């Protein structure tokens, strides 16, 4: 049964949408039930993750005809294929027979075969063969296809949207493209190093909100991110719009004999609801945060290094980022306990430093009430 935000409001005594938005304008956070209610989690899957552009993979994963890559958009498993005609296509990674996944990991094959009963699909998603189907009257393979999703490139990155009729990716990222064009051009030459993965005991929004503000950086990350970059409000720039958030800050922790005047510093882009990428003059990364349950989430971060950079410096930077993200995990796990307590209705933002949170929360409320 479909639910609406009004249904959730009645159950948890939440304000009206207009009042929620007014409270956000006044500097309040979203009310606590937004971070633990199962109904909100269900609504987010329907209203946000099934209709939003999200990072899928690097272009190298689907560079050749026959390549395919698996990913997720919230609860929806997705497979991206590179067809013989050179086209990238995306499908729900679910066989039309008994809903088993078509593939569990990336690969290259001329056809996609479900490992459960052997139904076989072309890279265009069309069913080619189904064992024993000739014994069934009126069974026509040509009428069956994998469910399509939208796929687009954002420079070297592949993004997916479970909505097959989604508006173009550029309609939600236009405000940030002038900045990410340069970021991605620099990052294109960086070389993959390692993937970091984190399982959190917190609502996905808590981790995303942590990622889009740096008010916490001097305290939570005093020996990691806060040691590496200048994070005071006069040095660290933030900007946000409905769907995108931008950070930029100069490097503070410099290798020996490096002139800071020649460095571009840290640059970070976030696209609602879950994708983020960044780089500085030594390492870069791209990643995603995904809801697993009302109070559980999972994030991955693919780390890259600049060719020719000092290996010792690269290792220090990679270790710094792992420590930073572990610190974020611990903090958001502890936050979840506070939200679950039921004793504090909402938090209070400092908008000079946390304006991206206000933007993120407004976008979430708007999406949930649509």
Cα-flanking dihedrals φ and ψ of residue 310, to 5°?
A: -55, 120
Domain ranges of the chain: 55-167, 171-368
Q: List the beta bridge partners of residue 91.
A: 79, 148
Class of domain 55-167: mainly beta
Class of domain 171-368: alpha beta
Cα-flanking dihedrals φ and ψ of residue 121, to 5°?
A: -120, 150
In angstroms, rounded to a whole number, what is the distance separating the alpha carbons of residues 246 and 240? 6
Per DSSP, the three-state class of 199 is strand
Is this structure's pTM higher than 0.85?
yes
Q: Which of 189, 201, 173, 194 is nearest to 292 (CA)?
A: 201
| Predicted local distance difference test score (pLDDT) of residue 223 | 95
3-state secondary structure 208-240: HHHHCCCCCHHHHCCCCHHHHECCCCCCCEEEE
Query: How far is the CA of 166 from the CAs of 150, 159, 169, 212, in angstroms?
Result: 7, 12, 8, 25
In angstroms, rounded to a whole number, what is the distance separating the alpha carbons of residues 347 and 365? 16
Q: Which of 222, 233, 318, 229 is nearest to 268 (CA)?
A: 229
| Predicted local distance difference test score (pLDDT) of residue 282 | 95
Contact status, residue 86 vs residue 65, Cβ threshold 8 Å: yes
Measured between its terminal Cα atoms, the distance across the chain in Å is 17
Q: Which of 219, 152, 204, 198 is nearest to 330 (CA)?
A: 198
| Predicted local distance difference test score (pLDDT) of residue 6 | 86
Per-residue pLDDT of the chain (370 residues; tens, 9 = 90+): 678 898 888 899 999 999 999 999 999 999 999 999 999 999 999 999 999 999 999 999 999 999 999 999 999 999 999 999 999 999 999 999 999 999 999 999 999 999 999 999 999 999 999 999 999 999 999 999 999 999 999 999 999 999 999 999 999 999 999 999 999 999 999 999 999 999 999 999 999 999 999 999 999 999 999 999 999 999 999 999 999 999 999 999 888 778 888 899 999 999 999 999 999 999 999 999 999 999 999 999 999 999 999 999 999 999 999 999 999 999 999 999 999 998 999 999 999 999 999 999 999 999 999 8
Please give the biggest Cα pair distance in the chain: 77
| Predicted local distance difference test score (pLDDT) of residue 1 | 60
| Predicted local distance difference test score (pLDDT) of residue 323 | 97
């Amino acid at each position: 049964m479909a639910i609406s935000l009004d249904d959730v409001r009645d159950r948890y005594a939440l304000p009206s949408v207009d009042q929620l938005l007014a409270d956000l304008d006044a500097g309040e956070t979203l009310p606590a039930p937004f971070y633990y209610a199962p109904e909100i989690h269900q609504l987010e899957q329907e209203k946000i993750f099934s209709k939003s552009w999200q990072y899928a993979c690097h272009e190298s994963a689907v560079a050749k005809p026959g390549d395919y890559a698996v990913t997720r958009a919230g609860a929806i498993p997705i497979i991206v294929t590179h067809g013989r005609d050179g086209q990238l296509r995306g499908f729900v990674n679910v066989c039309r027979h008994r809903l088993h996944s078509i593939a569990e990991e990336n690969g290259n094959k001329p056809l996609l075969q479900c490992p459960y009963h052997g139904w076989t699909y072309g890279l265009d998603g069309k069913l080619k063969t189904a064992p024993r189907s000739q014994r069934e009257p009126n069974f026509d393979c040509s009428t069956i296809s994998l469910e399509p999703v939208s796929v687009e490139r954002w420079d070297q990155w592949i993004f997916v949207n479970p909505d097959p009729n989604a508006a173009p990716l550029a309609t939600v990222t236009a405000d940030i493209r002038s900045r990410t064009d340069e970021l991605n051009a620099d990052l294109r030459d960086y070389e993959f190093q390692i993937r970091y993965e984190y399982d959190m005991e917190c609502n996905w929004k808590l981790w995303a909100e942590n990622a889009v503000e740096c008010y916490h950086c001097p305290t939570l990350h005093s020996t990691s991110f806060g040691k590496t970059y200048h994070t005071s409000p006069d040095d660290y720039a933030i900007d946000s719009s409905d769907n995108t958030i931008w950070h930029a800050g100069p490097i503070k922790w410099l290798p020996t004999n490096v002139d800071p005047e020649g460095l571009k510093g840290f640059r970070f882009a976030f696209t609602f609801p879950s994708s983020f990428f960044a780089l500085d003059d030594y390492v870069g990364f791209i990643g995603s945060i995904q809801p697993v349950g009302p109070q559980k989430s999972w994030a991955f971060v693919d780390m890259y290094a600049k060719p020719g950079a000092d290996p010792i410096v690269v290792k220090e930077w990679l270790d710094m980022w792992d420590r930073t993200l572990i610190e974020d995990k611990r903090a958001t796990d502890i936050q979840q306990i506070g939200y679950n307590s039921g004793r504090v209705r909402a938090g209070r933002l400092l908008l000079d430093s946390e304006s991206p949170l206000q933007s993120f929360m407004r976008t979430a409320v708007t999406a949930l009430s649509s």
